[in-house]
Amino acid sequence: MIRFSQESLATFLAQLRRLIECESPSSDPRALAASAALIAEVGEEITGIRPRVRTLEGYPHILFDVGTGPRRILLIGHHDTVWPRGTLARMPFSVEDGIIRGPGADDMKGGVLIALHAVAALLATAGEDLLDGVTVLITGDEELGSLTSRTLIEELSAGAEAVLVFESGGGSGEVKIARKGVAIYELEALGRAAHAGVEPEKGVNATVELAHQVLAASALGDAERGTTVVPAVMHSGTTTNTVPARGTLAIDSRAETTAEQERVDTALRALRAVDPRAELVLHGGINRPPLEEAAAAGLYARAREVAAALGHPELRRIRVGGGSDANFAAGVGAPTLDGLGTVGGGSHADDEHALVEWIPRRVELVAGLIASLLERPLEPMRAPAPADRTAPARAV
């Protein structure tokens, strides 16, 4: 079993500082290019592997391939963050009392380094022959919804025996064995304008129509099944003295199962205007399939075995509502386990942080899990039906 030394931890923290201090907001192409160059440099220092950088529509994605054999295990992370350039001025990198702070510390520059150090530790002890077919993919647009990397993720995952994702774990080190699928819609109501004071009866009020549809959409949620349908942002009308001729309603829907996603999608597409003179147009659709527990079950069981053999605290599991790239991997039928990154909290918030004590445990766990999977592969999963690609990926 791999053990991560204090010397290795000191190196890890120095590298993490370099990554955090290279700010990489998702919407800043120049910052992302600099971040990708640094990831490539640091990753090669760690693993000895010269990476490939694939830039798709301005977003750089970095791949570290071990050997040339068929892909067996895919490790996924991302180097973009939600933080705008200049955040370091008020959230500088620091390590105090065992807590790492700084933009991207937990989501997910620490997770990127955990993946790379785990691969490096195995290369140092087992050699390239054992790891032939292992790939690390670090994307540059996850916080925007993996707009350009989705196809790459799906292509790489479809041929993999296992996919490990390095989003942060739960607050007590839990891994993530289920994520809700995500669907984003915009419901457009088309009416007819008229003067609100002189002849309102000649108008068709898009605001009133949307008010009816807000209630109809909200009623589609099912708390017992874990399905949420949330009418969110609404825009309608132009001036207060005009009957609104057009309005839009953004709807966020999340579901634990594909069946529930499809039920909600069908129901939203079946909505009809209450005022027969109005017209409804639904845009968008399903953009992330669920990571269902069945896709993670085998990997979770194996990870628990590895954690126990290492003498780590008992590895537990959680289910979460937010989506990640794990959804795409599971959506093409790959066994997928998420939450293998840092343990901390505050992602996307000013108190973002990661705990130093969990870093050695995570590197050891991931290295042990990879070795176990290469020596004793999981039973293949049955491939699911093709995912609905009605809507492009959106930020979640």
Could you read off the pLDDT of 305-341 as tens digits, one per residue? Answer: 999 999 999 999 999 988 999 999 999 999 999 999 9
Domain boundary among 288, 305, 321: 288
Would you say residue 58 lies in a domain?
Answer: yes
pLDDT tens for each residue of 182-197: 999 999 999 999 999 9
Residue 392 has pLDDT above 70, yes or no: no
Beta-strand ranges (E) seen in the chain are 52-56, 59-65, 73-78, 94-96, 99-101, 134-139, 162-165, 175-179, 181-190, 228-236, 246-255, 279-288, 317-320, 336-337, 344-345, 353-355
Same domain, residue pair 251 and 320: no
Domain hosting 284: range is 181-288
State the pLDDT at residue 389. 43
- Spatial distance between the Cα atoms of 17 and 356, rounded to a whole number of angstroms: 13
So what's the pLDDT on residue 258? 92
Is 264 found in the same domain as 136? no
pLDDT for 156 equals 96
Could you report the per-residue pLDDT of 227-281, keeping only the tens digit for each? 999 999 999 999 999 999 999 999 999 999 999 999 999 999 999 999 999 999 9
Q: Are residues 51 and 166 in the same domain?
A: yes
User: Do residues 284 and 217 both lie within one domain?
Assistant: yes
Q: What is the pLDDT of residues 89-101, one digit of tens each?
A: 999 999 999 999 9
Q: DSSP secondary-structure letter at 390?
A: S
* Domain assignment of residue 328, yes or no: yes
CATH of the domain at 229: 3.30.70.360
- What's residue 190's pLDDT? 98
Q: pLDDT at residue 395 above 70?
A: no
The pair of three-digit structure tokens given for residue 287, joined into one six-digit string: 């953009």
Q: Are residues 218 and 367 in the same domain?
A: no
What is the signed CA dihedral for 353, 288, 223, 82, rounded to 10 degrees? 30
41 located within any domain: yes
Considering the domain boundaries, does residue 81 fall inside one? Answer: yes
Neighbours of 285 (CB within 10 A): 18
- Judge whether 246 and 206 are in contact, CB under 8 Å: yes
Contacts of 191 (CB under 8 A, 6+ apart): 203, 204, 205, 206, 209, 243, 244, 245, 246, 247, 275, 277, 278
Q: Does residue 160 sit in the same domain as residue 261?
A: no
Tell me, what's the pLDDT at 69? 83
Counted domains in the chain: 2
Query: Given 232, 253, 288, which residue is the final one in a domain?
Result: 288
**Residue 382's pLDDT band (boundaries 50, 70, 90)?**
low
Helices within 92-221 (DSSP H only): 110-125, 128-131, 150-158, 206-218
Give residue for tokens 């592997």: 49
Reply yes or no: is the peptide bond before residue 108 cis, omega within 30 of 0. yes
Q: Per the domain annotation, does 192 fall within a domain?
A: yes
Q: Would the CA dihedral through 300, 382, 320, 98 be positive or negative?
A: positive
Rounded average pLDDT over 97-123: 98
Rounded-to-integer distance, Cα 39 and Cα 79, Å: 8
- What's the sign of the alpha-carbon dihedral 206, 211, 212, 214? positive
Residue 393 in any domain: the answer is no
Tell me, yes or no, whether 269 lies in a domain. Answer: yes
**Which CATH number fits the domain that encloses residue 57?**
3.40.630.10
341 and 212 both lie in a single domain: no
pTM: 0.88
Q: Tell whether 395 is covered by a domain.
A: no
> How is residue 67 annotated by DSSP?
S
Quick one: 167 and 33 in the same domain?
yes
- The pLDDT tens digits for 202-224 are 999 999 999 999 999 999 999 99
User: In angstroms, rounded to a whole number, what is the distance separating the alpha carbons of residues 308 and 300?
Assistant: 12
18 and 88 belong to one structural domain: yes
Are 134 and 61 within one domain? yes
Average pLDDT over residues 143-168: 96
Q: Last residue of a domain, which of 262, 288, 314?
A: 288
CA–CA dist 338, 78 (Å, integer): 13
Name every residue whose Cβ is closer than 8 Å to that of residue 13 and which is 6 or more positions away in sequence: 95, 100, 356
pLDDT of residue 381: 63
Residues 209 and 230 in one domain: yes
Give residue 294's pLDDT: 94
Q: Do 366 and 334 have their domain in common?
A: yes
